[in-house]
Amino acid sequence: MSNQNTEGSAAKRKLQGRKGRRHVVLVGPLEDLSELSVELMRRPSEVVIDGVFSSSASWQVPEGMALKGSPSELRSYLADGNQVDDVYFILGSLGGEETRSLYGMCQQSGVRCLAVPPGVGALRRRMQASQVGDAVVLSLCREPFSRWYNRLLKRCLDVLLSLLFLLTLFPLIYVVVAVLTKWKHRGSVFRVQRVCGMDGRVLHCLTFRYPMRRWLERTPLVMSVFRGDLSLVGPRPFQPGQEVNYRQAVNRYTERCWTKPGLTGWAQLQGLGDETDEGGRLEVRVREDVWYVEHWTLLLDLGILLRAAFRR
């Protein structure tokens, strides 16, 4: 009879949860639950926090939440027929046997059990979970370029568009610039420019020597895109010698180096193409570069290229 009552109450909780807000309880150290509770309380139309089960008292329970007791009292709370749809618990706050017991109890009660890594809320970053065998690994930021198919898609776009440009418009541009250079200045049409590539590697790229509009002067860089040293879209490369200083001075600078530098990029569209640090612009530029690296999609690259092409 008791088993039938438990199954019936579980089914009832599930049905009620689908119709309205999800009722959740939090389990673990209060200081580790603070960030999660704040985020859940921002969704009052979706979630209601019915209680917290914790043995620590180093953090004050926010208004509107109730401390129900220690984690060991959760079993009796569920057994009493209280409506609970989700249980969030901090990984490591319970022993291995307690964790298995909590999961089994939630399974029997028809409650969804969700594990939360400790301490990650304080980092205030969007993380990416992956698995190594049965072990779960958290990356402290999203890394679309860690997946080979994303790198392949980006490379295919670079090769296709750079080859199209080199076979059509570039020969015409080269002829005009070469005639002007020989007529006005004589000497070589190209000059070699040194820039920092992916992971700080120094690259030798060609640009036009004759002074002209900056975008026109940089068109030979498309050859470096086709060769694979640069990308059409990416963080703007810095000059060699500046890399070490920027790594030390600017937070998260290393993350912008997880992809190839680009001829144009997200930061440039925000008006942050220069290398000055006036008013903290350099740190803002790096932050925009990191945003691009974390949120990359093929559509984002195409959108940036279109906006850059029609930008005044």
- pLDDT higher than threshold 80 for residue 261: yes
pLDDT of residue 97: 77
- pLDDT higher than threshold 60 for residue 17: no
Tens-digit pLDDT profile for residues 147-160:
899 999 999 999 99
pLDDT of residue 235: 92
Neighbouring CB atoms inside 10 A of 227's CB total 13
Tell me the residue length of the chain. 312
Q: 95 or 40, which is more confident?
A: 40
* Cβ contact 116:39 at 8 Å: no
User: What pairs with residue 131 in β-bridges?
Assistant: 136
User: What letters, b where the CB count within 10 A reaches 16 and e where it falls short, cover 62-100?
Assistant: eeebeebeebeebeebbeeebbbbbbbbbeebbeeeebe
Separation CA 28–CA 290 (nearest Å): 33
Q: 116 pLDDT band (50/70/90 cuts)?
A: confident
Domains of the chain as residue ranges with CATH: 2-124 (3.40.50.10700), 146-309 (no CATH)
pLDDT of residue 141: 65
User: What pairs with residue 139 in β-bridges?
Assistant: 128
Q: 308 or 282, which is more confident?
A: 308
12 closest CA partner among 80, 93, 86, 110: 110
pLDDT of residue 6: 45
- pLDDT higher than threshold 60 for residue 18: no
Long-range contacts formed by 62-70: CB under 8 A, 24+ apart: 62/37, 62/38, 65/37, 65/41, 68/25
Q: Is the pTM of this model over 0.85?
A: no
